[in-house]
Amino acid sequence: MIRRLRSSGVLSADWLPAFESVDRAWFLPDLMWPYDMESRTSRPVDRGLDPGAWYSCADADMPITVQWDDGDHRGSAPGRVATSSVSMPGVVASMLAHLDVRPGHRVLEIGTGTGWNAGLLTHRLGDGQVVTVEVDQAVADAARARLHGHGLHPAVITADGLLGHAPRAPFDRIIATAGLRRIPFAWVEQTVPGGLIVAPWGTVFGNTDHIVRLTVSGDGRTASGHLSTPVEFMKVRSQRHSVDQTAYLPDGFPGGATTGSTTLTAAALGVGDRMHHPFATAAGLLITDCALMADRRGSSVSTWLYSLNGDLSWAAAVLTDNTAESTVYQSGPRRLWDELASAHRWWAGNGRPGPGRFGLTVTADGETIWLDTPGNPLPRTVGSQIPWPDLTNRGHPVANWPQS
Ligand SMILES: C[S@@+](CC[C@H](N)C(=O)[O-])C[C@H]1O[C@@H](n2cnc3c(N)ncnc32)[C@H](O)[C@@H]1O
């Protein structure tokens, strides 16, 4: 794995000793569920039954789930929602490179998981320099035991990492290894001026996050930076969301929806494909509090939009890659298809920007999204300061997504 990471350029020489010394396999339980990115499925691998398969997965550039359903899961079949994992080594190396640590730095990690990433940081910086926060007591206890067994002693705290860790602040660096839909201002307050916050951040539009690297301003009151590589991480517990379609369509499809038409195709919107399409990033940034779900069957892509601000608006269309016109159904106070079409016009009119042209600024008042420079905020469709809807326990998760 280390050879592959080195030859792809993602693992830099300064991180090599840590990767060589802190073995990922050490941090993994006997029963684990590697996630295959191609088939988008998890399967159990038991060290006792097949040690060869177990070691080859531990050494592969793939995410591995180690906990399902917040621990409320028994047996070897995959559970409903993957809730703790060890991330892909390539993503881990890339985020650590973004973190740009120096000797003497104090680092806070949010999302201890197996403890591997905390172990890499501790090997590099020293025991007293690293604090890692994990929301799940059992996950934190297992990570602490494995870290100690490896001779590494970062502070492993069981708490909600969205609060940061004030008792040991300030930190030079904060790194989150769970996906964020909002970056808490507490992290800005707990980072030194000029310090960095590196996190997978995204919108509720889809499951994709982007690595963001925010620099804290000289007065410590804002943190700002560009989006970069698209990735997919499991989300922090309180920022997961799910969509229960029956709440939107209590009387079945199409309910009281009005109909119209669209000339947008599946290919133009990039829906129904596995590759991340740059319009998806832009649409998520422009259309707030809206989830998209798309399901390809042959050449047709059922495309649904659901408002997540509690008004139960939805829109749907069956698109193909090249049909000139498709019927659109819209229901509720928000005209979500019109918002999508308007976002597409904005995106096309602004040179079809990819993720790297967008940026994020976090202040005490919330988040601002911008194009190219902080002075150029996006025309977002709905105020982003509305309360976060508590949909965690309603219905099923959007999908059994890959977990970083
Ligand atoms: C992808 S895993 C982290 C991988 C880990 N860094 C490693 O090296 O194995 C994400 C972890 O974040 C934890 N988590 C979720 N929400 C959290 C929160 N609010 N505060 C702290 N940890 C949280 C999950 O329980 C899970 O263990």
Is there a cis peptide before residue 402, judged by omega within 30 degrees of 0?
A: no
What is the rounded distance in angstroms from the CA atom of residue 113 to the CA atom of residue 110?
A: 9
Cβ 10 under 6 angstroms from ligand 1: no
Q: Which residue has a Cα nearest atom 3 of ligand 1?
A: 113
Residue 86 CA, closest ligand 1 atom number: 9
Our mutation pick for probing the ligand 1 site, out of 24, 81, 134, 235, counting the most ligand atoms within 8 A of Cβ, is: 134
How many Å lie between the centroid of ligand 1 and the Cα of residue 209? Answer: 15
Q: Which residue has a Cα nearest atom 1 of ligand 1?
A: 85
Cβ 139 under 6 angstroms from ligand 1: yes
Q: Is 342 a catalytic residue?
A: no
Residue 207, pLDDT > 80, answer: yes
Query: In this structure, what token pair is assigned to residue 366?
Result: 């919330």
What is the rounded distance in angstroms from the CA atom of residue 10 to the CA atom of residue 24?
A: 17
Cβ 116 under 6 angstroms from ligand 1: yes
Residue 330, pLDDT > 60, answer: yes
Query: In this structure, what token pair is assigned to residue 124?
Result: 């590099």
Q: Which residue has a Cα nearest atom 20 of ligand 1?
A: 161
How many Å lie between the centroid of ligand 1 and the Cα of residue 334? Answer: 34
Q: In what order do the strands lie in the sheet with 314-320?
A: 258-262, 326-331, 314-320, 300-307, 290-297
Given the residues 42, 87, 224, 331, select the one marked as catalytic.
Answer: 87
Confidence of residue 38 (pLDDT cuts 50, 70, 90): confident
**Greater confidence, 110 or 403?**
110
Cβ 113 under 6 angstroms from ligand 1: yes
How many Å lie between the centroid of ligand 1 and the Cα of residue 366? Answer: 23
Cβ 303 under 6 angstroms from ligand 1: no
Mean predicted confidence (pLDDT) in 58-86 = 96
Residue 215, pLDDT > 70, answer: yes
How many Å lie between the centroid of ligand 1 and the Cα of residue 84? Answer: 6
Q: Which residue has a Cα nearest atom 11 of ligand 1?
A: 111
pLDDT at 381: 67
Cβ 147 under 6 angstroms from ligand 1: no
The amino acid sitting at 46 is D
Cβ 89 under 6 angstroms from ligand 1: no
Residue 392, pLDDT > 60, answer: no
How many Å lie between the centroid of ligand 1 and the Cα of residue 148? Answer: 19
Percent of the chain residues topping a pLDDT of 70: 94
Environment class of residue 382 by beta-carbon count within 10 Å: exposed (0-12), middle (13-18) or buried (19+)?
middle
**Residue in the block written with tokens 């559970």:** 79
pLDDT at 391: 32
* pLDDT (tens digit per residue) in 363-388: 999 999 999 999 999 987 643 333 33
**Greater confidence, 22 or 255?**
22
Cβ 234 under 6 angstroms from ligand 1: yes
Residue 353, pLDDT > 70, answer: yes
Mean per-residue pLDDT of the chain? 91
What is the rounded distance in angstroms from the CA atom of residue 106 to the CA atom of residue 130?
A: 6
How many Å lie between the centroid of ligand 1 and the Cα of residue 198? Answer: 14
Bridge-partner residues for 305, per DSSP?
A: 292, 315
Residue 113, pLDDT > 70, answer: yes
**Greater confidence, 387 or 348?**
348
pTM for the model stands at 0.92
3-class DSSP string for the chain: CHHHHHHHCCCCHHHHHHHHHCCHHHHCCCEEEEEECCCCEECCEECCCCHHHHHHHHCCCCCEEEEEHHHCCCCCCCCCCEEEEECCHHHHHHHHHHHCCCCCCCEEEECCCCCHHHHHHHHHHCHHHEEEEECCHHHHHHHHHHHHHCCCCCEEEECCHHHCCHHHCCEEEEEECCEECCCCHHHHHCEEEEEEEEEEECCCCCCCEEEEEEEECCCCCCEEEEEEEEECCCECHHHCCECCHHHHCCCCCCCCCEEEEECCCHHHHCCCCCCCCHHHHHHHHHCCCEEEEEEEECCEEEEEEEECCCCCCEEEEEEECCCCCEEEEEECCCCHHHHHHHHHHHHHHCCCCCHHHEEEEEECCEEEEEECCCCCECCCCCCCCCCCCCCCCCCCECCCCCCC
Cβ 236 under 6 angstroms from ligand 1: yes
Cβ 161 under 6 angstroms from ligand 1: yes
Our mutation pick for probing the ligand 1 site, out of 112, 152, 238, counting the most ligand atoms within 8 A of Cβ, is: 112
**Residue in the block written with tokens 């060290």:** 47
pLDDT at 274: 72
Query: In this structure, what token pair is assigned to residue 111?
Result: 């999302």
Q: What are phi and psi of 47, to 5 degrees?
A: -60, -40
Domains and CATH numbers, the chain: 2-237 (3.40.50.150), 245-344 (3.30.160)
Q: Are 167 and 194 in contact (CB under 8 A)?
A: no
Cβ 134 under 6 angstroms from ligand 1: yes
How many Å lie between the centroid of ligand 1 and the Cα of residue 313? Answer: 32
Q: Which residue has a Cα nearest atom 12 of ligand 1?
A: 111
* pLDDT (tens digit per residue) in 164-189: 999 999 999 999 999 999 999 999 99
